[in-house]
Amino acid sequence: MPGSRHSRFASLHDVELCSYSATGERRAFGELVRRHGSAVRGVLRRMGAQPAEADDVAQDAFLTAFERIAEFRGEGTFAAWVKKIAARLYLRRLQRDRRLGAMTAEAVEDEPEPSRADADAAIDLEEALKVLGPVERLCVTMCFGAGLSHSEAAEALNLPLGTVKSHVKRGLEKLRTRLAPEDGVVLEGRRGNG
């Protein structure tokens, strides 16, 4: 009975569900999708994907994850693993549609700096991300949302490592102004994972 199978899987840990999935148990994998689907779709939306496109890419990412579930060693969380797959798939789609080049070109144009009045308002992450340029948004979300290192993001974006680090730094500065105006401290360092 499908319902009882779902409830059986609902009580299991992600690692156990991955083991079942590796044996071809599609209902176990469905439970993983139920648990982490929103997070994966959320990362893609935060990278700038429209909801419908984010759903398409997230579906493809989960199907890829199912195909490659034997490669998942449990070193990180399942959600983080799928988010990385999804981020790379989305970038590939951007490259295929030649949208990534346009984004990179746009990045040289300066975006308007958020005003202090805006910063004082309570803004959630979604809103804060909107002030970032497309590539900054991609870089920040890939590094902080999908868990890619700077090097991995640079490779996926086909951009120099230094450029990615600059985008992340600028993006963080803008986010910080929006999310934590009370700190008032300018970022100087960098995320040491590149």
Partner 1 sequence: MVELDFERRLERLFADAPELADAGPFAERVERRLDAGWTARRWLIGAAGVVGGVIGASQLMVSNMFQRVETAGDSARLLSNSFTSLGHLSSGADWVASLSSGGGVVWVAAGLAVVMMGFVLTRVIGEI
Please report, as ranges, the residues that interact with partner 1 according to CB under 8 A.
24, 26-27, 29-31, 33-34, 37-39, 41-43, 46, 55, 58-59, 62-63, 66, 125, 140-141, 144-145, 172, 175-176, 179-180, 183, 185, 187-189, 191
106 versus 130: smaller Cβ distance to partner 1: 130
Residue 102, amino acid: A
| CB-nearer residue toward partner 1: 76 or 101 | 76
Tell me how far CA of residue 49 lies from CA of 18, 103, 110, 124, 143, in angstroms. 27, 13, 21, 18, 16
Write the single-letter amino acid at 115: S
CA distance 40 to 61: 9
59: CB partners within 8 A, 6+ apart: none
Closest approach of Cβ 59 to partner 1, in Å? Answer: 5
Closest to partner 1 by CB, 75 or 188: 188
Cβ-based nearer residue to partner 1, 44 or 94: 44
